Amino acid sequence: MADFTIRPATLADAEALCGLHKAAVRKLCVGAYAADEIEAWLREREPAGFRHAMTEGGETMLVAERDGAVAGFASIKEAVLFGLYVDPATGRGAGQVLLHAAEEEVRRRGATVLSLQATLNAVPFYRKHGYMRQDRSSVRRGGRDLAVLDMIKHLS
């Protein structure tokens, strides 16, 4: 856990974050979503979208690095965790480090609750870290409605 370092993402990370995002979803969300749902989800993902999210989109992205390579990232907007992804080959274990860093950043902004829409595969991970399940919901990706679970955590 201690060997990941966290830093803010820059626009120069967009290519790496996009590639990592696709690899994480293809490898780690299998089983929770059908293959055609996963491909619909990723169809519109491009590095430009990550650059847009960091600028006009108002998202703060945090990167986990190990040995100078990007191992995962988290994205926050206001008090919402928009995304959390680790490299399936090199980033396992970075998830909890990034989650704690995101919680710290949200706390620093004065919020007392962090909310997110958990992919179904990630629900046990968030529960382990103190998130409570709320409603079942869905997100629209590539013309498909993908099932997710709204979850929140009261930050102490």
> Which residues are at the interface with ligand COA (CB under 6 A)?
24-25, 28-29, 83-86, 91-96, 116, 118-119, 121-122, 124-125, 128
For residue 94, the minimal CB distance to ligand COA (Å) is 5
> In the complex, what is the shortest distance from the CB of residue 25 to ligand COA, in angstroms, rounded to a whole number?
6
Torsion angles phi and psi, residue 137, rounded to 5: -145, -170
Q: What secondary structure does DSSP assign to 77-144, as a single string?
A: ETTEEEEEEE-TTT-TTHHHHHHHHHHHHHHHTT-SEEEEEEEGGGHHHHHHTTPEEEEEEEEEETTE
Tell me whether residue 43 or residue 110 sits nearer to ligand COA (CB atom): 43
CB of 95 to ligand COA, least distance (A): 2
28, 121 in Cβ contact below 8 A? yes
C-alpha to C-alpha distance for 5 and 118, rounded to whole angstroms: 24
53/110 with CB nearer ligand COA: 53
Smallest distance from ligand COA to CB 133, Å: 13
User: For ligand COA, which residue has the nearest CB?
Assistant: 95
